[in-house]
Amino acid sequence: MIAAKAEIPGAPVHDGPVADRRIEPAHKPILYLEEVTVSFDGFRALNALTLYIDEGELRCIIGPNGAGKTTMMDVVTGKTRPDKGTAFFGQTLDLLTLDEPAIAEAGICRKFQKPSVFEKQTVFENLELAMRTDKRVWTTLFARLTGEQRDAIHEVLETVGLTAHRDRRAGELSHGQKQWLEIGMLLMQEPKVLLVDEPVAGMTHQETERTAELLLSLEGKHSVVVVEHDMEFVRSIARKVTVLHEGSVLTEGRMDEVQNDPRVIEVYLGA
C-alpha cells in the first residue's frame, strides 16, 4: 500500500540505505533515518543518528533526558529539518522534501502528550470528526455516515476500549480515556506509522496497563514508535528497544539485553 502512495511521479528514486542490504528479508523497513544531525546553536541534539523502523513493528525508544528522542520525532514529522542526513518513508518518499501536512497525509501520525479532543462532542463524534477531511464540526456531524464508515468507527472504539463510552462527551472522560480517544482519532486516519511520545505520563497504574495492551494490539497493523521513561511500562510492551544517548543510538536489542548493557547502566546512572 505504501509503495503505491510513495510512488510519486518524478520523485527521486532512493537506492535503499546501505545497511538495508544486511537486513534479513523478513524485516521490511518503512522508516529510514541515516546520519541525521540536528544542531541548536552548535549543540547537537541529534548526532549522525541512524535508525530503521520495520513495517508493523512496535519499537520502544528510551534514553535519558535530552537524548534526542523528541527531536527524532520532530525530524520524522517534518517539524524540524536536520542539518545533515536523510530521512525516508518507504524506499522512495524523501521526508526532508515534505512539509508537516504532507507527511501526515502520507501516513505518519504523531500523538502529542496533551490530548486534543473535542470536549463537547461525544466519543463517537470525535472519531467521526477525525475521519473527515472537512474539519468543520457542523458540516461533519450532519453528513450521513456510510455503513463502512460506521464499521470503521466501531472497530476503532473496540481497539481503544471505548465502546461503552461512545455516547459520552469527551470532556467527561478520565485523562487515560482521553489519551485512548486521541489514539483512536489517529487510527481513524489509518496511519502507517504512529509516533507516541510519553503516552503513559500522568496515567494511573491501571490506565498504564490498558495502554500497554492497546499499543500491543496495534502491532502488525501499524508501525508504532513509543518513547517512554516509565521502564515498567516499556518492559511490558518491549520488543526491540533502542537506547538513544547524546543524539545517537547507544545500543539496540531486547529489553533484558539493553538493561544489562554496562554502557546503558552508565548513562542512566550518570544522568
Residues that bind ligand ATP (CB under 6 A): 40, 45, 63, 65-71
User: With respect to ligand ATP, which residue has the nearer C-beta, 66 or 253?
Assistant: 66
Q: Whole-number minimum distance, CB 228 to Mg ion, in Å?
A: 10
Give the angle subtended at the CA of 196 by the CAs of 182 and 83, to the nearest 5°. 130
Rounded to whole angstroms, the Cα distance separating 155 from 103 reads 25
Cell numbers representing residue 47 in the block:
548526532
Q: Whole-number minimum distance, CB 74 to Mg ion, in Å?
A: 9
Cell numbers representing residue 13 in the block:
528514486
Q: Whole-number minimum distance, CB 217 to Mg ion, in Å?
A: 25
User: With respect to ligand ATP, which residue has the nearer C-beta, 185 or 227?
Assistant: 227
Rounded to whole angstroms, the Cα distance separating 229 from 192 reads 24
> Which amino acid type is present at position 112?
F
Q: Using CB distances below 5 to 8 A depending on partner kind, what does residue 210 bind out of ligand ATP, Mg ion, none?
A: none
Q: Whole-number minimum distance, CB 67 to Mg ion, in Å?
A: 8
User: With respect to ligand ATP, which residue has the nearer C-beta, 20 or 230?
Assistant: 230
Report whether 186 contacts 194 (CB < 8 A). Answer: yes
Task: Report the Cα 163 to chain-centroid distance in Å.
Answer: 23
User: With respect to ligand ATP, which residue has the nearer C-beta, 40 or 112?
Assistant: 40
Rounded to whole angstroms, the Cα distance separating 40 from 82 reads 10
Rounded to whole angstroms, the Cα distance separating 195 from 108 reads 8
Q: Using CB distances below 5 to 8 A depending on partner kind, what does residue 45 bind out of Mg ion, ligand ATP, none?
A: ligand ATP
User: With respect to ligand ATP, which residue has the nearer C-beta, 160 or 244?
Assistant: 244
Q: Which residues of 14-27 are buried (b: 16+ CB within 10 A; e: fewer)?
A: beebeebeeeeeee
| Of residues 40-79, those binding Mg ion (CB under 5 A) | 69-70
Q: Using CB distances below 5 to 8 A depending on partner kind, what does residue 66 bind out of Mg ion, ligand ATP, none?
A: ligand ATP
